Structure 1
Amino acid sequence: MNRLTQLTTFASVLTALLISSFEYSQAQWPDRHGPTHDGVVAEADAEILPIHWTDSENVAWKAPLHGQGHSSPVIAEGRVWLTAATADGTRQSVIAIDEQTGEILHDRVLFENEDVEPLGGAVGFNNYAAPSCVLAPGAVYVHFGSYGTAKLDSRTAEVIWQRRDLPCQHFRGPGSSPVLYDNKLVLTFDGVDQQYTTALDAQTGETLWRTDRSTDYEDLGDDGKPLRDGDMRKAYCTPAIIEVGDQVQVLSVGARAMQSYDLETGQELWTLRHDSYNAGIRPLWLPEKKLVIINTGSRGAQLVAVRMDESTQGDITDSHVVWVRERGNPRFALPIEHDGLIYQVTDNGVLACIDVDTGEELWKERLSGDYLASPILAGDHLYFFNQSGLGSIVNAQREPDIIAVNDVPEMSTTACPAVSHGAIFVRGKEFLFKIQSP
């Protein structure tokens, strides 16, 4: 083999390795809404996801779970991570499962709590393991709201650091998941006693900044009474972290208003007022259109398109709103954007297709059952999983087209699905399922 042939062969092998490495990294699902935080599946996975399954067909394995949890599976380095808690919240655990075999690799109690805040009127709905983990190379970040936050070694599940001194009266249980960006772990605490966002050093766990909400909660409600207590101050939103020009912003929807913060300093950049509370849906950033799509919460939830750029600052309520969809919006499931269209499913299964530029509803279709889980987009296919075990696949297009409905009651879920290496991972009440074609 001459020198040129050797170099050509080496270059080909190196290219193949780089492509393989890139595809592997894209296959991971390190955040509850995927690698791009918008529910969109990597192209390599999208092409091979199954359309049909039963309780045995196209199910690679199911791994037993214990306790309760709304937390979504997240995946990296060949391991699936999720959390669980006892019904009374006294024990909160983290679980690691082998991605290929379904073997339980780690199942350890991370926090034990003597003083547990009751879930109030939300008993039977929320639980003490609602926030999802977030992953980085070699690290797992686990969060249970004010009960504790920890960084674990992803190989051994040993605790590297933990924090149990971030206070918040959750009132109905924690719900906001952590977000990781540029060695900063961003946490959101919207309780009845205090409402703030904080960034921790991902390596050490030290607080880098804390910014309290500037929202005026003393405004009068519809009944003429001040909005001082209970749900009127609550939110469960996982923030979006976006790049706008040279600045990285944290977009966080709270009760009565949303704010944008500078990721480096925590300084508030702008605010948008609204009339709702209990916001639980992550903002959706559409950089090509310079639009952010937000859902305001659970009381008269609005879907709002907001125009923003590098110059956006101050109170933008009256200046930057492009359109508002007043009714027919979900409380829990993230909207998905594809080819200029937004798809969203309400709690009771009304699927709507909306023009992203105008907010006009193009069509709506009924999906059976109730929905807490956010959908995923794989190529031109939308996947929806409901609380009764139905998995529906819909073509993402300008006309309604339901192409498959799979009924597996054991796959009843309140958690977002995850995707990795051509498989879908669904958290049922008693098992974690891996759905994959042979």
Structure 2
Amino acid sequence: MLRSAGAIAVYFTVLLIMSSKLEPCGATEPAEANWPQFRGADATGVTRSTGLPDQWSATENVEWKSDIPGRGWGSPIVWGDSVFLSTVVNTGTTEPVKKGLYFGGDRKEIPTSIHEWKVLSLDLANGNVRWEKTIRTGTPTGSIHLKNSYASETPVTDGEHVYFCFGNIGLYCFDLNGEALWSHELAPHKTRNGWGTAASPVLHGNALYYVNDNDEHSTLLALDKRTGKKLWEVDRDEKSNWATPFIWTHDSATEIVTAGTGAVRSYDLQGKLLWSLKGMSSITIATPYVADGLLYVSSGYVLDPTKALYA
């Protein structure tokens, strides 16, 4: 089957293609010239490129399309002339996704069909697949919501290696040519209502950070990005969340800011809790970000009377 969310992934990729034509970038250029992680170089969702198209359709302002097998909600990332993304192929029958706001998407039964967890690299110029690797074949370790996928985490790159994450499965490091360098297993845990996982890993210095919030044992994990060796892991008094952490560097320090239903928490680079702030909504998905020197943290659920926004 073809990826059901193909339009979302492809149009995001095409937007970056248009950007690359205006501002060519190479593998040796800084992260700001690329799109190396979830929500871009600054993790704000804002590009510094100019002259981008402001409208497109199935044909207008489309440079190319590439069919990707399976299903994955994670964003593609770009470094130099390469696009990296992940997907999971169900060899059985996959229920079609419903659009719009609705309730009743819980699917608590774990599929019994064989799935294939894949990572890919595409040529930014034409969408051709440069390499494709299957990192796991088997049955899922848990269920997911109808609106979720088994590949909802966005990869991250430092320009030398690319790091992929599949929640409840593992973290995987490849070089840009597709050679597997190391992996770190993630023990499966139950998530709220069987909705699955979505938070993406982030990089800072020589460390890869991953927030694993679930209904059994939530933690913040730090790995050595060069070897995959665990640097530290701290427990979090949280249940299931889906928010990617944000690395906040300011004049005083660098902090790992995590959003959660229980509280917003900030840690130093060794995992020590610096501060916390309560008052979030009952479902936390949004990633914190910085604009004009202020840190913004938000959450919102359609049935909650309070939809928090803090700065």
Fold similarity call, TM over 0.5: yes
Q: Is the 8 A contact 1:152 1:159 kept in 2?
A: yes
2:13 equivalent in structure 1: none
Looking at structure 1, the residues matched to 279 and 181 of structure 2 have their Cα atoms a distance apart, in angstroms, of 40
Q: Which amino acid aligns with 1:205?
A: G
| 2:52 counterpart of 1:30 | no
Higher relative contact order (CA 8 A, sep 6+): 1
Q: CA RMSD in A?
A: 2.3
Distance in 2 of aligned mates of 1:73 and 1:302: 29
Deviation of residue 76 (structure 1)?
A: 0.2
Amino acid at match of 1:50: P
Larger radius of gyration: 1
Question: 2:237–2:262: 8 Å Cα contact kept in structure 1?
Answer: no
Distance 1:178 1:69, change over 3 A: same
Contact 1:70 1:131 in 2 (8 A): yes
Equivalent residue number for residue 72 of structure 2: 69
Alignment check: 8 A CA contact 1:168 1:189 kept: no
Change in CA separation of 1:37 and 1:198 when aligned onto 2, cut-off 3 Å? same
1:167, distance to aligned residue in structure 2 (A) = 4.6
Alignment partner, residue 137 of structure 1: 159
| Cα deviation, residue 190, structure 1 | 0.7
For residues 292 and 303 of structure 1, the distance between their equivalents in structure 2, rounded to whole angstroms, comes to 14
Say whether the 8 Å CA contact 2:163–2:174 is kept in structure 1. Answer: yes
Q: Deviations over 1:125-159 (max 9, x none)?
A: 1110000000112211000012111000112x121
Paired residues of 1:74 and 1:81 also in contact (CA < 8 A): yes
- Would the aligned equivalents of 2:204 and 2:247 in 1 still touch at CA under 8 Å? yes
Q: TM-score, normalised by structure 2?
A: 0.78
CA distance in 2 between partners of 1:94 and 1:68 (Å): 12
Q: Which sits farther off after the overlay, 105-114 or 27-36? A: 105-114
Note the 1:30-429 alignment, pairs <5 A. Answer: 30-42=36-48, 45-46=49-50, 48-87=51-90, 88=111, 90-114=115-139, 116-119=141-144, 122=145, 124-155=146-177, 157-170=178-191, 171-214=194-237, 233-263=239-269, 265-286=270-291, 288=293, 291-298=294-301, 300=304, 302-306=307-311
CA distance in 1, matches of 2:83, 2:27: 19
Q: What TM-score do the two structures reach when normalised by structure 1?
A: 0.56
Unaligned runs of 5+ residues in structure 1 are 1-18, 216-232, 307-438
Distance 2:26 2:224 in 1: 28
Q: Secondary structure at the match of 1:132?
A: coil
Secondary structure of residue in 2 paired with 1:59: coil
Q: 2:86 is matched by which residue type in structure 1?
A: T
Cα displacement string for residues 65-108 of structure 1 (whole angstroms, at most 9, x for unaligned residues):
11111010100021111111124573211111100111111122
Distance 2:119 2:165 in 1: 10
Cα deviations by residue, 1:254-279 (Å, 9 ceiling, x for unpaired) = 1221110001x100111111252331
Give the drift of 1:51: 2.4
User: For each residue in 1:308-343, what CA deviation from the matched residue of structure 2 results, as whole angstroms up to 9, or x when unmatched?
Assistant: xxxxxxxxxxxxxxxxxxxxxxxxxxxxxxxxxxxx
The amino acid of 1:94's aligned partner reads V
Distance 1:71 1:22 in 2: 22
Q: How many angstroms does 1:305 deviate by?
A: 2.0
**Structure 1 SS opposite 2:64:** strand
How far does residue 58 in structure 1 lie from its aligned partner after superposition? 2.1
Partners of 1:279 and 1:241 in 2: CA distance: 18
Contact 2:171 2:186 (8 Å CA) reproduced = no
User: Hey, which of these two has a bigger chunk of strand by percent?
Assistant: 1
SS in 1 for 2:65: strand
2: CA distance, partners of 1:286 / 1:20: 25
How far the C-alpha of 1:297 sits from its partner, in A, is: 4.2
Aligned counterparts of 1:206 and 1:29: Cα–Cα separation in 2: 26
The separation in 2 between residues aligned to 1:154 and 1:187, in whole angstroms, is: 21
Deviation at 1:250, TM superposition (A): 0.5
- Contact 2:141 2:168 (8 Å CA) reproduced: no
Q: Deviations over 1:9-64 (max 9, x none)?
A: xxxxxxxxxx987995433100121111101212xx22x21123332332111111
For residue 348 of structure 1, what is the aligned residue in structure 2?
Answer: none
Percent of paired sites with the same residue: 27
Structure 2's unaligned 5+ residue stretches are 1-23, 91-110
How far is 1:285 from its partner?
2.0
Change (3 A) 1:168 1:247: farther
**AA at the equivalent of 1:180:** L
Q: Deviations over 1:387-428 (max 9, x none)?
A: xxxxxxxxxxxxxxxxxxxxxxxxxxxxxxxxxxxxxxxxxx
Aligned equivalents of 2:309, 2:28: Cα separation in 1:
35
**Counterparts of 1:128 and 1:22, CA distance in 2:** 29
The answer to whether the 8 Å contact 1:293/1:303 transfers is no
